[in-house]
């Protein structure tokens, strides 16, 4: 999964590609570097454990490139992509193509406003419509319900049930709306031979039910061997009599791959994803699918939910950062604010380090003032990359004081993968400086456009 902010936002915003050196630096605030080991992680942060020696083979252009861009203090500091909780009051059952005639039992715990959708697995809509005629549904009382439910569904959707001979296909899928009178319990869906040969996907939605399955990943990016997991939650207004969880992983190509154990840890259930994966697995966006089958209040239920997460095989990490300093020209004006980031690498790759400078406004709210990225082709070993923020970019905000680093992250350009992110940037601060000390920014068309739009005017 890619979480990468473009290295150069646009040709107009590529404001300063600089070769380092040639300036007089004043002494650093501190001669020490702050270790990233054990740094507290906020939602959206990731930190690799073990590193794997796997050289990248793509996007390996040579040479160090450093870029600085202004940021609008009127815009809030972008929130990191944090794990979201996926919730489900639905399930999906499948009849594989070329199957024999079969009967499915659909657990309906709350028929009010419930929907059953039957979708043929056919590319030809005429074949699909013909297959749907071979499907019948009976409600919890044993009464045939598909025709009544289909009419209710069309009424709810504002569809005209009638059709003329000139119309082509009127029902490529069956959408059936249930009601309370049909009862709670197991609905039987009879799939005849013709329908089973085509194959069917049957989706059941029960929006009024109190039974809800939820999935929450421990992080947006997981690594092999680490304690990465997905929390599996089940909420119900009625007492859950029993429940069984089944978890399955799908590759970035959405191919069914393997099962994942769901275990109870303390008071919650977890799908132990990282323990089921290894360094040979493909980096990218994986999907975890969890099915919860059980009963509550004496009525069976079936819930299915999916959530996606990034998987990476890390080859480097941020070891430390610090030595913040001001860079002055001979006349005394500050031309840049610099900060060193030390990386530990065990493989060849083109790595990118990025971060955002923020300043506090009169109310103490942090405002972004400048962004910087630096990238270089690095092999195994310990390396230092310097984030260089152009002073003129920070000065456009007219906010002074001690700027802080936020959103420090390490990215692999060779694999298009985030390896390390520390949102608070180890709480690193630049030396205090007045806005009047900062050299003026070159007025490029991009900056002039931002100024015309009032992006640097806080009205203070």
CB 274 within 8 A of CB 250: no
CB 237 within 8 A of CB 243: no
pLDDT value at residue 459: 58
Q: How crowded is the C-beta side of 314, counted as CA atoms within 13 Å? A: 25
**Window from 70-79, 189-198, 379-388, 436-445 with minimum mean pLDDT:** 70-79
Q: What are the φ and ψ backbone dihedral angles of 448, each rounded to 5 degrees?
A: -60, -40
**pLDDT for 173 beyond 90:** no
Give ∠ CA 185-188-190 in degrees, rounded to 5: 175
Separation CA 129–CA 172 (nearest Å): 5
Contacts 24+ apart (CB under 8 A), 2-11: 2/310, 2/416, 2/417, 2/418, 3/81, 3/220, 3/221, 3/310, 3/418, 4/411, 4/416, 4/418, 5/354, 7/67, 7/352, 7/373, 7/375, 7/413, 8/67, 9/69, 10/446
- Greater model confidence, 458 or 90: 90
Q: Identify any residues that bridge with 232 across adjacent strands, giving them in sequence order.
A: 215, 269
CB 260 within 8 A of CB 231: no
Sheet strands (E) in 74-209: 85-88, 90-95, 102-108, 115-120, 135-138, 174-177, 185-191, 200-205
Separation CA 363–CA 350 (nearest Å): 40
Note the residue count of the chain: 460
At 161, is the pLDDT very low, low, confident or very high (cuts 50, 70, 90)? Answer: very low
At 4, is the pLDDT very low, low, confident or very high (cuts 50, 70, 90)? Answer: very low
Query: If you average pLDDT over residues 275-289, what whole number do you get?
Result: 93
**pLDDT for 167 beyond 80:** no
- Tens digits of per-residue pLDDT, 79-132? 778 889 999 999 999 999 999 999 999 999 999 999 999 999 998 989 999 999
Q: Which residue has the tokens 């690095």?
A: 378
Residue 205 makes CB contacts below 8 A (sequence gap 6+) with: 89, 90, 114, 115, 117
CB 263 within 8 A of CB 272: yes
Phi-psi region of 40 (alpha: psi -120 to 50; beta: other; left: phi over 0): beta
pLDDT value at residue 62: 86
Of the ranges 37-46, 168-177, 182-191, which is most confident? 182-191
Supply the mean pLDDT for the chain: 88
pLDDT value at residue 169: 40
Of 55, 43, 32, the C-alpha closest to 85 is 43
CB 421 within 8 A of CB 82: no
Report helix, strand or coil for 197. helix
For the beta carbon of residue 258, count every other beta carbon within 10 angstroms.
12
- Greater model confidence, 225 or 97: 97
Q: How crowded is the C-beta side of 29, counted as CA atoms within 13 Å? A: 21
pLDDT value at residue 51: 95
Q: For residues 45-78, b (16+ Cβ closer than 10 Å) or e, as one string?
A: bbbbeebbebebeeeeeeeebbbbbbbbbbeebe
Separation CA 16–CA 444 (nearest Å): 10
Of 36, 37, 63, the C-alpha closest to 352 is 63
Q: For residues 303-331, b (16+ Cβ closer than 10 Å) or e, as one string?
A: bbbebbbbbbbbbbbbbbbbbbbbbbeee
CB 401 within 8 A of CB 360: yes
> What is 376-424 written as a DSSP string?
EEE-SEEEEEEEEEEHHHHHTTT--B--EEEEEEEEETTTTEEEEEETT
pLDDT value at residue 355: 96
At 172, is the pLDDT very low, low, confident or very high (cuts 50, 70, 90)? Answer: low
At 159, is the pLDDT very low, low, confident or very high (cuts 50, 70, 90)? Answer: low
DSSP 446: H
- Tens digits of per-residue pLDDT, 6-58? 333 333 343 344 333 333 444 445 558 899 998 988 888 999 989 999 998 88
Of the ranges 156-160, 228-232, 279-283, which is most confident? 228-232
Query: If you average pLDDT over residues 223-251, what whole number do you get?
Result: 94
Q: What are the φ and ψ backbone dihedral angles of 19, each rounded to 5 degrees?
A: -95, 130
Separation CA 418–CA 416 (nearest Å): 7
**pLDDT for 265 beyond 60:** yes
Separation CA 395–CA 399 (nearest Å): 7
DSSP 31: S
């Amino acid at each position: 999964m890619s979480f990468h902010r473009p290295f150069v936002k646009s040709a107009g915003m590529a404001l300063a590609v600089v070769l380092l050196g040639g300036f007089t630096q004043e002494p650093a605030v501190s001669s020490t570097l702050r270790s990233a080991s054990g740094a507290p992680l906020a939602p959206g942060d990731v930190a690799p454990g073990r590193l794997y020696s796997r050289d990248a083979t793509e996007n390996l252009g040579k040479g160090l490139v450093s870029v600085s861009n202004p940021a609008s203090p009127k815009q809030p500091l972008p929130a990191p992509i944090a794990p979201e909780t996926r919730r489900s009051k639905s399930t999906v059952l499948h009849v594989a193509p070329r199957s024999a005639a079969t009967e499915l039992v659909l657990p309906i715990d709350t028929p009010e406003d419930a929907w059953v959708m039957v979708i043929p697995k056919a590319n030809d809509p005429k074949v699909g419509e013909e297959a749907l005629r071979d499907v019948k549904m009976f409600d919890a009382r044993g009464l045939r319900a598909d025709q009544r439910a289909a009419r209710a569904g069309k009424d709810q959707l504002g569809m005209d049930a009638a059709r003329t001979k000139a119309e082509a296909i009127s029902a490529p899928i069956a959408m059936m709306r249930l009601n309370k009178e049909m009862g709670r319990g197991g609905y039987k869906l009879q799939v005849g031979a013709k329908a089973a040969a085509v194959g069917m996907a049957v989706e059941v939605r029960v929006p009024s039910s109190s039974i809800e399955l939820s999935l929450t990943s421990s992080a947006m990016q997981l690594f092999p061997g680490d304690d990465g997991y997905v929390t599996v939650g089940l909420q119900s207004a009625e007492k859950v009599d029993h429940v069984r969880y089944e978890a399955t992983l799908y590759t970035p190509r959405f191919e069914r791959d393997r099962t994942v154990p769901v275990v109870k840890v303390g008071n919650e259930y977890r799908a132990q994803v990282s323990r089921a994966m290894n360094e040979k697995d493909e980096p990218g966006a994986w999907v975890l699918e969890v099915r919860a089958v059980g009963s509550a209040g004496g009525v069976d239920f079936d819930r299915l939910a999916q959530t996606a997460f990034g998987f990476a095989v890390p080859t480097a990490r941020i070891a430390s950062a610090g030595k913040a300093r001001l860079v002055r020209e001979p006349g005394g004006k500050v031309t840049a604010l610099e900060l060193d980031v030390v990386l530990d690498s065990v493989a060849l790759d083109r790595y990118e380090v990025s971060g955002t400078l923020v300043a506090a406004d009169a109310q103490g709210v942090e405002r972004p003032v400048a962004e910087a990225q630096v990238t270089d082709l690095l092999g195994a070993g310990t390396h230092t990359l310097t984030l260089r923020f152009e002073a003129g970019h920070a000065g456009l905000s007219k906010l002074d004081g001690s700027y802080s680093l936020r959103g420090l992250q390490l990215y692999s350009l060779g694999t298009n993968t985030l390896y390390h992110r520390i949102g608070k940037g180890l709480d690193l601060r630049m030396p205090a400086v007045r806005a009047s000390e900062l050299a003026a920014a070159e007025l490029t068309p991009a900056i002039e456009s931002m100024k015309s739009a009032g992006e640097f005017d806080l009205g203070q």
